[in-house]
Structure 1
């Protein structure tokens, strides 16, 4: 299998972290330069209607896109260590936590970065800095909620490390492009959680 990734982008990193936590081997990584728009012309990637990464190319030539779908496929191939839930109830609550992070932290922060950071202008034309600033403010509201949640439990989805922690960590790291550091924002629990994940 081949995993198509790019440097610094949060979604490919989510899959890379998932693979690392699983201890999986044998998946070849192919680096794609999205700033040079390689993802739009690459034969494997252009098969997706949106030509985004990451993409996992299976041994039979089919391509699987979307970070969470790729992770679900890999979890099915290698169920342990489990990162997405062992039964229907746990899977539902882990997915809920992961979706909360995706929709209310990752998405607005990605929009904030794409519309405010000059280095992303090549991918986002036109940029709307005011929209980006509004999305950053929305993400901060959710990050304060997440900080409160982490004051009462060790991990994003509860008592153990899951895919929700991977999603949140990759988002927080990507937000460094906005000079965001949880500790400097008064989010002590989030900062401590971030350091625990980084130590992994």
Structure 2
């Protein structure tokens, strides 16, 4: 099996970090989305949405979407558990994963797509929408900071895929100068520093 990825993309890092936490080695094939390699007919047979990453199994089955890929490997390699250890924890992990995707990953992604010109050759961009998306991401910094005042990780003292996804989204924000401020977001910065110190963060 192999994973098709663009190494700089946050969702690709999200999968790599997860696999590093699991101690899983896998083959990677690079797809240069800047050059549009993901738009080819051959690649669209793997994922009609033409996104990265995509996991291709030995039988030819292709699994797109980063969380779906993580869940596949969680089922095959349940230790250490990263999607929760009981019903309550699993629900909270899902909740924070969804919050991270909607409030952080989406908004940072839209800010990047509509303000940097990276995809201007293949999509119509709306700079005002990109700027507004960036503002929404920064607003969410405060939500996270308040939550992390009383929690080591997003789900209490339990490190999970929710933390992995949020870190990758937060770090991606640097590409569009969206950064938490020490005076306003001390708890978020403390969390980011702790999660960033994990060996998997450099995967």
TM class, shorter-length: over 0.9
Give the alignment's Cα RMSD to 1 decimal.
1.6
Q: TM-score, normalised by structure 2?
A: 0.92
Paired residue for 2:157, among 156, 159, 164? Answer: 159
Instruction: Using the TM superposition, give the Cα deviation of residue 139 of structure 1 relative to its aligned residue in structure 2, in angstroms.
Output: 1.5
Runs of 4+ with deviation above 6 angstroms: none
Structure 1: state its 5+ residue gaps.
none
Q: TM-score, normalised by structure 1?
A: 0.93
Give the helix-richer structure, 1 or 2. 1
> Where does residue 37 of structure 1 map in the other structure?
36
Structure 1, 47-56 or 66-75: larger mean CA deviation: 47-56
1:1-200 equivalent positions in 2, closer than 5 A? 1-25=1-25, 27-41=26-40, 43-122=42-121, 125-183=123-181, 186-200=184-198
Instruction: Using the TM superposition, give the Cα deviation of residue 140 of structure 1 relative to its aligned residue in structure 2, in angstroms.
Output: 1.6
Structure 1, 60-69 or 139-148: larger mean CA deviation: 139-148
Instruction: Using the TM superposition, give the Cα deviation of residue 185 of structure 1 relative to its aligned residue in structure 2, in angstroms.
Output: 6.8
Q: Is this contact kept in 2: 1:18–1:166, CA < 8 A?
A: yes
Q: Which has the higher contact order (CA 8 A, sep 6+)?
A: 2
Q: Deviations over 1:142-196 (max 9, x none)?
A: 1210011111100012211100011110001110011222235721111111111
Q: Deviations over 1:90-139 (max 9, x none)?
A: 2111101110111111111110111111334345x221110111111111
Q: Is this contact kept in 2: 1:113–1:120, CA < 8 A?
A: no
Give the 3 Å change call, closer, same or farther, for CA 14–45 of structure 1 in structure 2.
farther
Structure 2: state its 5+ residue gaps.
199-203
